[in-house]
């Protein structure tokens, strides 16, 4: 009977395409048809949600149509009403694009440098800026019929081609630079030894990152040339990896209540040392020769003892109180555990190669600029305007909910890694 309804011209007003003859594309999901309730099998909400997640795609309608046209599998250019809702069509894509590499690689360093209070200010400023942008986009989306074609098409038809062209150019440049950011973040994860990060002695050669990054970019270009539909089959896998990574962060923070990880940092007085230089954190004859040899001075070495501190003290420690305030410093300064009264920082010389040293000068606006790319990616939902069942409702609700959720996760993330001391966050 349902197939006859699709063929009957008197019932074609259920789809916006009056000339549609594609019976298979007609969808009656979530339709309340009481007259035919006995002939239709009701789908449970949980099973329906799992089915949508299994068919989750990270491609927009235009990309899929382009792939189908190249393969010659598209039977009819006319489609029925898009069936993507707010959760699958807007919320999940925005979450997947907002939770980027900066959150995992730089937020802990930002907290260790700026302290908890100023880190909260940085995250709040960036999230409020993104929220205001989303509210402006929502005003455009609810100003009329949202056409297919994404954010550029939506803005250009609402505000004119001048605004649309300017926004489209900025969006293109932002996506291009974001691609390089994500590639460098991927290569950094592959090159950095986690044990070296915990010991504050992680060093990455910039030329290695350029070479491996270029190889990664060529591989991605090859994938795009072959066809992104193969990558799209792993969209749900990628989304699951992001969700599991977020859960692992909070699980690791909770584990420190039971047993802190066995990572130690070697200290000489209040200065952190590079752990790979010493087998044992003791004043042995070899260590004495390193500091008191012809190529080094031993004044500070002789007046201070060597000791080990736990790199991840745990939630039960007092490290949260110690990291409330900022700890900005200039480049080439020896990293020291601040003591009271606060002493002036010591600049490293050519003979201080055994200490952990700051690589850049840090200040508040620099950290804001480093963190801000972490709150981008809110256009992922509006780019699917042609796939949404009700774009006027889904784009504002899904985008704002994604921003609120990620902002809450980032603020909670500031407190979750607080068992780490400031020294362990410093990247050299």
Encode pLDDT of 343-400 as tens digits: 677 887 767 778 888 888 999 999 999 999 989 888 888 887 777 888 888 889 999 9
Of 34-43, 109-118, 230-239, 272-281, which gets the smallest average pLDDT? 34-43
Nearest to 97 by CA among 379, 372, 371: 379
Nearest residue to 82 via CA among 64, 66, 95: 64
> Tokens representing 331?
């480049």
Instruction: For 119-131, give one letter per residue: b (16+ CB within 10 A) or e.
Output: bbebbeebbeebb
Query: Would you state the pLDDT for residue 60?
Result: 56
182 and 251, same domain (yes or no) = yes
Q: Residue 198 has which token pair?
A: 């915990």
How many other CB atoms sit within 10 Å of the CB of residue 66? 16
pLDDT value of position 426: 38
Q: Indicate whether 212 and 94 sit together in one domain.
A: yes
- pLDDT of 44 over the 90 cut: no
Q: How many domains does the chain have?
A: 2
Grouping H, G, I as helix, E, B as strand and the rest as coil, residue 100 is coil
User: What is the reported pLDDT for 5?
Assistant: 44
Q: H/E element holding 271?
A: strand 271-272
Q: What is the pLDDT of residue 38?
A: 41
On whether residue 197 sits in a domain, the answer given is: yes
* Of 197 and 300, the one with more pLDDT: 300
Any domain includes 118: yes
Compute the C-alpha angle 408/199/369, nearest 5°: 40
Structure tokens at 310: 């736990």
388 near 89, Cβ under 8 Å? yes
The 10s digit of each residue's pLDDT in 310-319 is: 877 777 777 7
- Domain span at residue 228 reads 86-259+363-372+394-425
Beginning with the edge strand found earlier in the chain, give each strand of the sheet holding 264-268 in spatial order: 271-272, 264-268, 306-310
Cis peptide before 31 (omega within 30 of 0): no
| Together in a domain, 135 and 217 | yes
Q: What's the whole-number mean pLDDT along residues 3-14?
A: 45
pTM over 0.85: no
Q: Are residues 61 and 97 in the same domain?
A: no
- For residue 206, is it within any domain? yes
pLDDT-derived band at 16, boundaries 50, 70, 90: very low
Torsions phi, psi of 267, nearest 5? -120, 140
Q: Is the pLDDT of residue 77 over 50?
A: no
In this structure, the answer to whether residues 180 and 62 fall within a common structural domain is: no
Where is pLDDT greater, at 346 or 428? Answer: 346
Domain edge (last residue) among 83, 101, 118? 83
- The total of other beta-carbon atoms located within 10 Å of residue 86's CB is 21
Contacts of 102 (CB under 8 A, 6+ apart): 181, 185, 370, 371, 373, 374
Q: Of 9, 7, 243, 282, whose CA–CA distance to 104 is shortest?
A: 243
Residues 23 and 154 in one domain: no
Residue 65: pLDDT band with limits 50, 70, 90: low
Q: Contact 329/345 with Cβ under 8 angstroms?
A: yes
Say whether both 97 and 186 belong to one domain. yes
Chain centroid, CA 319 distance in Å = 26
Residue 386 domain flag:
no
């Amino acid at each position: 009977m349902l197939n006859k309804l699709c063929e009957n011209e008197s019932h074609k007003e259920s789809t916006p395409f009056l000339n549609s003859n594609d019976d298979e594309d007609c969808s009656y999901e979530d339709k309340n048809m009481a007259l035919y309730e006995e002939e239709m099998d009701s789908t449970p909400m949980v099973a329906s949600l799992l089915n949508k997640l299994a068919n989750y795609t990270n491609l927009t309608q235009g990309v899929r149509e382009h792939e189908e046209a190249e393969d010659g599998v598209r039977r009819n250019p006319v489609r029925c009403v898009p069936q993507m809702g707010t959760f699958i069509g807007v919320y999940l894509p925005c979450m997947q694009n907002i939770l980027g590499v900066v959150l995992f690689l730089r937020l802990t360093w930002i907290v260790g440098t700026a302290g908890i209070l100023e880190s909260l200010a940085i995250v709040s400023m960036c999230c409020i800026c993104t929220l205001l942008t989303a509210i402006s986009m929502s005003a455009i989306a609810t100003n009329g019929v949202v056409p297919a074609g994404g954010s550029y098409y939506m803005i250009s038809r609402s505000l004119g081609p001048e605004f649309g062209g300017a926004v489209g150019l900025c969006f293109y440049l932002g996506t291009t630079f974001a691609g390089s950011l994500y590639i460098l973040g991927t290569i950094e994860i592959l090159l950095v030894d986690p044990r070296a990060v915990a010991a504050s002695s992680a060093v990455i050669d910039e030329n290695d990152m350029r070479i491996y990054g270029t190889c990664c970019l060529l591989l991605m270009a090859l994938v795009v040339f072959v066809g992104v539909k193969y990558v799209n089959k792993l969209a749900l896998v990628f989304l699951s990896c992001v969700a599991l990574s977020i859960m692992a962060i909070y699980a690791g923070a909770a584990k420190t209540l039971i047993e802190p990880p066995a990572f130690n940092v070697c200290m000489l007085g209040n200065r952190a040392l590079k752990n790979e230089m010493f087998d044992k954190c003791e004043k042995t004859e070899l260590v004495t020769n390193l500091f008191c040899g012809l190529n080094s001075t031993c004044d500070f070495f002789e007046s201070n003892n060597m000791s080990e501190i736990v790199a991840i003290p745990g939630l039960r420690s007092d490290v949260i109180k110690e990291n409330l305030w900022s700890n900005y410093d200039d480049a080439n300064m020896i990293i020291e555990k601040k003591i009271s009264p606060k002493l002036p920082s010591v600049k490293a010389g050519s003979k201080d190669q055994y200490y952990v040293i700051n690589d850049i000068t840090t200040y508040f606006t620099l950290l804001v600029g480093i963190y801000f790319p972490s709150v981008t990616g809110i256009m992922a939902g509006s780019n699917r305007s042609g796939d949404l069942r009700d774009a006027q409702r889904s784009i504002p609700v899904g985008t704002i909910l994604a921003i609120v959720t990620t902002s809450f996760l980032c603020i909670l993330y500031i407190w979750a890694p607080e068992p780490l001391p400031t020294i362990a966050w410093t990247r050299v």
